Every structure is written in structure tokens, then in C-alpha cells.
Structure 1
């Protein structure tokens, strides 16, 4: 029951807090929206005043020009004799030069009947010459002695423009009107903005200048019959349709006027500001988008609601923690006691596991020692087996130079008895050469049979290859193999043991000799080149090769493809492990055209290894 009442109380408090946060957010939204709209209104006032100033400045540039141009002697002469065609050509040229100089759109002269007698655009397709514009207010205001002012869409050029009219006086009487038309497109182009729109309306509420081209020639309010009659009389907008402006109503929010505008499928609310321009009887309006103000107001409201929600959550968390502190305090002692018991139990278990691990580590170390000893024994046994296989060839190799030495010695005695000391000395030199040959073979055999030093160092590959050939040459010769060696200059030293690397090369070369023995192609090639990580040795034979199914087993201990009694199957296994100890890799690949390729990758010796070797 107590828990149920607590839950009800918490639910009620959360509901009240939610309502309070919602009300606070609504109030914050209304207040911030009013402030942001006021800020937007101030920005709109600046834009509006700048637009009014720009438009007035543009019009002020040309306001006095019609009267000045009307005082020119050619214009007065044209007014005295408007049908003089020769004079008309001179006036046309003068008006064209004046128009280009002043930057106006068009300048033209009209007689008292409204007929255009000369114009700056006389040489264009839309020439005003011959046109009658007596229906325009700028004409009849000018010939009445006043200043003509009128904004309209040109009936001939179909271009918008503002017209200034001035009377042409000759001898105190008005004899015509001089009209200057200016283009306000540049002003309109300067008004283009991203978040606001500028527009100018005439007394009828028709929008004739706008930074939004799609709004041109639309009416802010429905046109009355009287207004349409006036527009038809002066043909201000010629035959423009004058559709209604796409507005959906005007509202007042926080003292600001908001105008709803339909833009395709989207309805946008704009802040509407207006300023009159009495000298032209215009009204300049600016529309500023309120989306930014609404977004900022929503952001403020969201921030207020989030802050209040976080505050309520913080208070709830604090209250909940205080309620649970008492329960935790009661459970803490029991948990501590239980933890101490568990620690004691785990300590005993860890001590027992530690003792077992120490025993297993000792057994593992002993097993590693036995394994390494067995590997060393296998390496030595492999070498001795190789020496045993080569014993017959070695016997022949030693007996042959010994027999030759005996023959050279007998011949030397005979030559000495005959007094041929020079020839005898030559025989003795041959005997010494044979003795050196047998000594070199014996030296390499002793180092090959000796247990190798396990320490790795920098090794010269050409020296190891030369020592290996001293031992393997006997087997190669017995097999009738044709060995080719290609070692480029500048090979880097490799990380290895010289005796063990020698054993690897002897094993692979003797295997190659076994492979080509008795075959038709007995070529063997040993080559080496530099790689990114060190040196790659390739030994290629032209024997029967390694069957694809046996390539993965060829490096297993006691596995052999030779006949019974021709090997123990340890040579390649020992060689594989030796190369792995060097940090390298040994593999076999099939050769194009038959045979096999044994590839040995060795690491290049770094500076430290090379220094130790030196």
C-alpha cells in the first residue's frame, strides 16, 4: 500500500511539473517571439530606409535633366519647325549622344500634338519616332507648363521606365515636350536579398518594382472599375493581366504586421513594413521572413523547457538518492562482510591456482628444453646421415688426389735423378695443390659435422654458398648435375647462423642432385636477389618435381618421396625449422616446364647485427 501511494504521489508531481514546464515554454515562446520580431522590424526599417534613399538618389540624378536638355538650341529649333526632316536627323544624333552620356534609357521630343519628332532610339526596331503618346500624363503635364512625372510600361519597347517631362519653350511660349526615360532595373537588381523582399506600389496598389520578379504587375487589393478605367486611359501597364497578389491575409502579432503569402504549395509569413514616397506618389514596402524569428523563439522556449526539465529531474534525483541512502547504509555492512568472505575464498583459490601454474610452468620449461635438445640432435643426425651418404664419394674424392700425388712424387724422383729440377718442382707444386684441395674439403666437413652455434649474426651469403659447394660438389658430380650459380654483386648480409645456413643449402642442393640424377635434363640453378625485407634464394631443378598433393607435407619429419633406404625424411624438415629460427621462410613452388623451385626468404642484417658480426 505504501509503495502504491508513493507511485501515485510521484505521478501527480510529474504531471504538475510537466504542465508547469509547458506553460513556461509557451510564455517564453511568446515573449521571445515578440522580441525577435521587434529586432526583425528594426532591421526591416534599415532596409526600407536604404531602399527609399537608393530610389530617391536614382531619380534625383535625372530630375533636372529634361529641362536642361530642352534649353539646347537644336531642341528649340526642332520645336519651331517640327516637320523639318533635315533638322530631325541632327536632333536624333544629338539626343542619342546625350542619352549615352547621361546613361538614360531613352530621350525624345514630342510636338504639341503628342507626335514624337526625334528620339535617341531612332535607329532601333523599337524607335519612338512617329509614335503618338499624348495619352501619357508626363506629356500633358509638361505641355501645360508643369513637370511631367510618370511610371509605366512602354507601349513600344515593352520595358518598364520612369518618365520625366519638361516643356520646350521658344520665345516664352511652349512649343513641345522633352521626355527623359530612365531604367530602374539596376535599383531592382540591387534589392535582391535572401531573407527579405522589396517592392514598390503605385496609388492603385499595383506592384511595379520588386526584388521578386514573379510578383511584378500584381495588385495588393482588388481593382475597382474606376481604377481600371484610369489605367486604361493612360495605358500605364499596357495589356499586363494585373493578377491579384498571392496574399492570404494580414494579421497583427505583438504590434507587428504579418502578411501571409502563398508561394506555390508553401505558405510563408512575412513581417510587412511600408514607407511612403510622396514625390512620386509611391509606397515602398519590405517583406522580411519571420521563419528565423520563429525558429529562434522555439529555440529559446526549448532551452527554457529543457532547463526546467533538467532542474525537475535533478530535484527528483536528489530526493530519490536521499531516500535510497538509508537503504544503502543498511545493506553496506552486510555487503562488506560478504565481500570479505568472498575475498578470503578467492585468495585461497588463487593461491592453489598459482601453485598449479608454477608446476605447469616448470613442466613446460622442461618440455621446451627436451624439445630443443631433440631438435639439435635431429639436426646433427641429419648432418651425419648426409655425411654417411657422401662417404663413398668422399673416399673416391680423396683417393683420386692421393693416387695422383703418388704418381707426381714418383715422377719427381725420376726427374731429380735426371737433373730436371724445374720439372720436378712443377710436380711438387701440383702435389701441394692437391694437398690444399683435400685440406679445404676436410675443413668444410669438420665445420659441417660440428654442433652449430645457435647465436644469429650477420652472414655473407656468397661465402656460405662457396662453403656449401665444397661439400655438395661431390654429390652433384656423382649425379652428373650441371649447376649454375647467379649471385649479383652488392647482396646484403643476412641474419643467420653460417653453419646452419650451410646445412640448409647442402640439403637442398643434394635433394636437387637426387631429383635430376638419371634424367635427361640435369640442370640446377641457384640464384639470389634482393627483396624489400632481405634476400630471396631460389634453387631450381629439372627433376620430376613435387606432386601437388604432397607439397604441404614435404616439410613434415620422416616424410620422403625417395625410395626405401635413400633417406630418413628429415633433411627438409630440419631445413624448414632452421630457416624459421632465422626469422625467414622456406617453401616449394612448381616450376614452369617441370621440376621444382625451393625458395628461401631471409631477413637482411641490420646495423646492430652487422656491428656485432664485425
Structure 2
């Protein structure tokens, strides 16, 4: 605990300094931004006013009425821009117009030839100086710009800016903000008592030069009582010494810096309070640990007494678990065998359903094959006649037609052979148009024989679905045959097959028959449930299982034709 107390004390000191440094850095940048925005605003004024016609007219013709007009205009402009005073100086250094022309402290008639900002503006075109006003006695920043008439200088226009409002904003932060010039003199500050004091001791030559320019009036320019120790600044004041953490930020005044002195004591007090809380928590934890250890020692004796009995019980339980594990393995093997048999039985049932459908399909397929066979015989007999007459071209045309008809017969028999195949292929991409065409080869003749109008609409014929073609055709054949059975006694029977959507692909098969009886709706897809006297009730159950294997579904929907409707939902491959 002693080591923890020493470590926490050291941490509190370092953390307090770091926190004060962070606050000083953030406040310094914020205060520098406020100052820069003020400077940027007022620096534009002399540039704009140097092009003002009345300024040139007043400087070129003294005694002109333009001077009186300029006085009023400068007064209005100073009031609107919050400038302390705006005034115009001729080449001799005498003020000829000013915004304070009607006040006792008017600058009109005052000669500022000795001021560095006047000399700098006349020599270089513009100059800046922070100094104490010789008439008003108030400090401010003087922004001067030369007014030219071609190559001939006419005079200088000066804008004086005072920063009382800005310094009041700085004072709200709780830190002490000051701006020092190139000589280290405090020219702006949130602590008025520090104004015109030097941040460090001034060399005698620098002090004499500043006195000669009268930039700071009769100010003593005494240094601040600063003592530095380990990055801390200790400043002696009337109400005692205060410790600060300092951060400097450059500003756009020539040679100047903004220095922010953040009181270190609040951050240190906060860190010390945190350290005390942490130490208290550690003390509580250590006490709790001691109490816990005492209770552990007390319980250890009871545990040792129960240990022997526990070992015997564990051994007995281990034997029981070993036996139970053996039984579970046997049960798992039986379950796996039952599952295998179930899958095999389900495939056998699907195969039986397909073979049962073939019996109904055979008559239609035979009719489909008989027509091209009859046509082949006619074309063959005609070809013999053409060959006897040496008309080989016509015979060749008939032989080409025979080839096309044999291809048609091969497609029909191939589709029937694939449909009767026992082992289904693995799942993969199946062209939707091809699967529907294959289905129509198997059941199309039956629909035509019954006079059923079949309307087929495929939104995207090139789409492929994730399925097995044989089993997908089995589902389509089953639904179309069910529709044909339902429409047996329906006048003007109709069936719609619509394929639409992108992902998933949706196939709707609807008819205008009597629909599904209401009592069959709750168990429509249950095996051995059927509404036909001669039906087994396996078709829809098998179709639903096949769609589930495809990762899709088979559902009953309302038919737009008024009969029964079924929807196949399939994943896009």
C-alpha cells in the first residue's frame, strides 16, 4: 500500500501537468484564432480606404470641403467597424481628417512624424505598430497604409484598433492570456495589471529604444516576477504566488507571440482527488482480499473432509456417464441408419411418383411421336417417286424434312428418358426456359387433347435457377397434371404459367377450375391427403419436399383466374 501511495502521488503530479498542458494548448489556439479573426477584419480597412476618392481629394487639396465630408464618413465607418479611430495624415505627418474630429481628444492637427508606423508606411507602403496613444493614452494596434497618386505619395491612412472586448472574452476562460511583441513587452492581456510589463528582463539598450519611440508612454516596462521550475511558471502577485503551465502560439503581428498561462492547481487538485479515490478503492480491495482469505482458510477444512466422499461419488458418476455415452453412440448410429432409410424411401417415393406420371404422359407422347412418324413415311414415299423421276432436288428437300422430324422424335423420347431417370443429378444452374420446354414436351399433348388454353409468360427467358432439372420438371408436370384433372369438367378451361422476378425467381401456375376444397387447405401438402377418389395424395407432398431441397418453397396462392394457384419460389443461380 505504501508503494501504491507513492506511485499514485507521482502519477497525480504528472497527470495534473499533462492535463494543464492540454488545456493550455487548446485555449491558446482558440484565443489565437479569435485574435487572428479580428486582425484579418481590420487589416482590410486601410487597403480599402487608400482607394477612397475623398481620401485622395482631401490629401491633394487642403481646405477642400471634401475634408469635412471625410471626417463624417470616417466617423460613421469607425462606428460600424468597431475601430477605435480612423485618421488621415499628410506627408508632413500632420493629421488632416479623423473619425474623432468632434471630440476633445481629436487627432486633427496632431503631428505623428515621429511615430514608427508613419515612417514605415511612407517608406514601405504599409506598417503596423502596437503602442500607447499619445492623445488618448489608450493602447492599441495602429494599421497604416500609404496613399499614392501614381508614383507620388499623398499621405498615410491609419486605423487604430483596441482590443478591450477581445481581452474580456479571454478573461472568461479562467486562464491568463497575453500577447508579447518582438521585445517581449505585454501589449495585450486578460490581466490588466500585466500590461506593458516585460515577459523577461529587458536589456538597457532595448529599454532606451522603446522609451525614445514613446510606444508605451511612460510605462516602466518592469519584468513580471516569473520563476521557472521543471516546466512550471511561478508568478508572484499581490494575492500570492500562482503556478502556471504555459503554451505559446504564434500570431501574425510582427515578432509577436500569444502566451497562455493555464493555472496548474485545478488540474493537480483533480488528479489528486482521483488518486485518493483510487487509493481508497485499493484499500477496500485489500481489506476484502484479507477477509476472503480468512474465509477460504475456514472453508478449506470442510473441503478436505468432503474430498474423499466426493472422489467416490465422482468415480461412480464417471461409470454412469461412460455407460450413458455408449448408449448415446448406439442411439446416434440407429438414428443415422433411420435417416438414411428415410432418405432412400423418400427418393423411392419420388421415383415412383415420376413413373406413375409416365403412365399418364405416355399417351400424349405416343401421339406426339405418331404425327412425325406418319409425316416421315409420307416424305419417304414422295422421295422415292422424285428419285424415279430424277428430281433429286425435291427428294433432298424431303430428306431434310425427315431429318428434322427425327430430331423432334429424339427430343421427345430423350425428355421422357430423362424424366424416368432414377438417380437425380446434383443441384446446379438450370435454364428456366429449357425446363419449361421439357415439361411441355411431356404434358403438352394432354393439355391440347383436353382443349385447355395454355398461356405462358416468361419475364426473363435466359434466367437460370438453382435446382435439378429432372426434379424441377417433376414438380411442374405434377402441377400441370393436377390442373388438367381439375379442369376436366370446366367449360373453356384455361391455365396460366407465369415466370417472373429476378432473385428469387417466381413461377405461378393458375387455373380457372373449382379450386382447392376448404377442408383440405390446412393439410394440403401432407402425404396421403387428396381430393380425388383415385388419387394417392403424394404429388404435392413430394413436390413440396423437392422445392425445400432446392432452397425454395411451394405455396398455395389465390388464382387470378378464379380456380387454384400454386407458386414456386426458386433461388437464382
TM-score (norm 2): 0.52
Deviation at 1:439, TM superposition (A): 5.5
Cα contact 1:525–1:541 (8 A) shared by 2 = yes
In structure 2, what is the equivalent of residue 451 of structure 1? 422
In structure 1, what is the equivalent of residue 151 of structure 2? none
Alignment of 1:100-499 (within 5 A): 105=85, 126=102, 185-187=162-164, 189-190=166-167, 192-193=169-170, 194-195=173-174, 293-294=265-266, 296-297=268-269, 299-304=271-276, 306-307=278-279, 310-311=282-283, 313-314=285-286, 316-317=287-288, 319-320=290-291, 323-324=294-295, 326-393=297-364, 404=374, 408=378, 412=381, 440-453=411-424, 455-487=426-458, 491-499=462-470
Residues 302, 386 of structure 1: alpha-carbon distance in 2 compared, 3 angstrom cutoff = closer
Residues 592, 191 of structure 1: alpha-carbon distance in 2 compared, 3 angstrom cutoff = same
Q: Deviations over 1:47-80 (max 9, x none)?
A: 9xxxxxxxxxxxxxxxxxxxxxxxxxxxxxxxxx
In structure 1, what is the equivalent of residue 541 of structure 2? 573
In structure 1, what is the equivalent of residue 529 of structure 2? 559
Residues 433, 595 of structure 1: alpha-carbon distance in 2 compared, 3 angstrom cutoff = same
Deviation at 1:126, TM superposition (A): 5.0
Cα contact 2:427–2:550 (8 A) shared by 1 = yes
User: Does 511-520 or 579-588 show the bigger shift?
Assistant: 511-520
Rounded to whole Å, the distance in 2 between the matches of 1:89 and 1:602 is 96
In structure 1, what is the equivalent of residue 557 of structure 2? 589
Rounded to whole Å, the distance in 1 between the matches of 2:491 and 2:569 is 30
Deviation at 1:333, TM superposition (A): 2.9
Cα contact 1:495–1:582 (8 A) shared by 2 = yes
2:566 aligned to 598, 610, 613, which one?
598
Rounded to whole Å, the distance in 2 between the matches of 1:295 and 1:365 is 71
Q: Count the aligned residue pairs.
A: 401
Cα contact 1:380–1:451 (8 A) shared by 2 = yes
Unaligned runs of 5+ in 2: 29-61, 76-82, 88-94, 107-131, 140-158, 178-187, 193-235, 244-260
Q: 3-state DSSP class of the match of 1:556?
A: coil
Cα contact 1:121–1:127 (8 A) shared by 2 = no
Q: 3-state DSSP class of the match of 2:356?
A: helix
Q: 3-state DSSP class of the match of 1:572?
A: helix
For the aligned residue pairs, the C-alpha RMSD in angstroms reads 6.1
Cα contact 1:484–1:524 (8 A) shared by 2 = yes
Cα contact 2:376–2:405 (8 A) shared by 1 = no
Rounded to whole Å, the distance in 2 between the matches of 1:427 and 1:304 is 109
Rounded to whole Å, the distance in 1 between the matches of 2:411 and 2:69 is 119
Q: 3-state DSSP class of the match of 1:599?
A: strand
User: Does 325-334 or 348-357 show the bigger shift?
Assistant: 325-334
Deviation at 1:503, TM superposition (A): 1.2
Rounded to whole Å, the distance in 2 between the matches of 1:481 and 1:526 is 13
Q: Deviations over 1:235-283 (max 9, x none)?
A: xxxxxxxxxxxxxxxxxxxx98669xxxxxxxxxx99xxxxxxxxxxxx
Rounded to whole Å, the distance in 2 between the matches of 1:424 and 1:554 is 57
Residues 431, 593 of structure 1: alpha-carbon distance in 2 compared, 3 angstrom cutoff = closer
Unaligned runs of 5+ in 1: 1-16, 18-23, 48-86, 108-118, 131-149, 155-159, 164-181, 199-208, 214-254, 260-269, 272-287, 606-614
Rounded to whole Å, the distance in 2 between the matches of 1:559 and 1:421 is 66
Residues 459, 417 of structure 1: alpha-carbon distance in 2 compared, 3 angstrom cutoff = closer
Residues 441, 308 of structure 1: alpha-carbon distance in 2 compared, 3 angstrom cutoff = closer
In structure 2, what is the equivalent of residue 262 of structure 1? none
In structure 2, what is the equivalent of residue 539 of structure 1? 509
Rounded to whole Å, the distance in 2 between the matches of 1:424 and 1:186 is 113
Residues 502, 256 of structure 1: alpha-carbon distance in 2 compared, 3 angstrom cutoff = same
Rounded to whole Å, the distance in 2 between the matches of 1:106 and 1:459 is 88
Q: 3-state DSSP class of the match of 2:495?
A: strand
Q: Deviations over 1:272-330 (max 9, x none)?
A: xxxxxxxxxxxxxxxx998x73564254145236425624652x356445544643543
Rounded to whole Å, the distance in 2 between the matches of 1:94 and 1:417 is 122
Cα contact 2:176–2:191 (8 A) shared by 1 = yes
Task: State which structure, 1 or 2, has the greater radius of gyration over its C-alpha atoms.
Answer: 1
Rounded to whole Å, the distance in 2 between the matches of 1:556 and 1:295 is 77
Cα contact 1:515–1:544 (8 A) shared by 2 = yes
Q: Deviations over 1:209-249 (max 9, x none)?
A: 99699xxxxxxxxxxxxxxxxxxxxxxxxxxxxxxxxxxxx
Rounded to whole Å, the distance in 2 between the matches of 1:447 and 1:317 is 79
Rounded to whole Å, the distance in 1 between the matches of 2:70 and 2:395 is 133
Alignment of 1:31-70 (within 5 A): none
Cα contact 1:456–1:495 (8 A) shared by 2 = yes
Cα contact 2:383–2:399 (8 A) shared by 1 = no
Deviation at 1:195, TM superposition (A): 1.0
TM-score (norm 1): 0.49
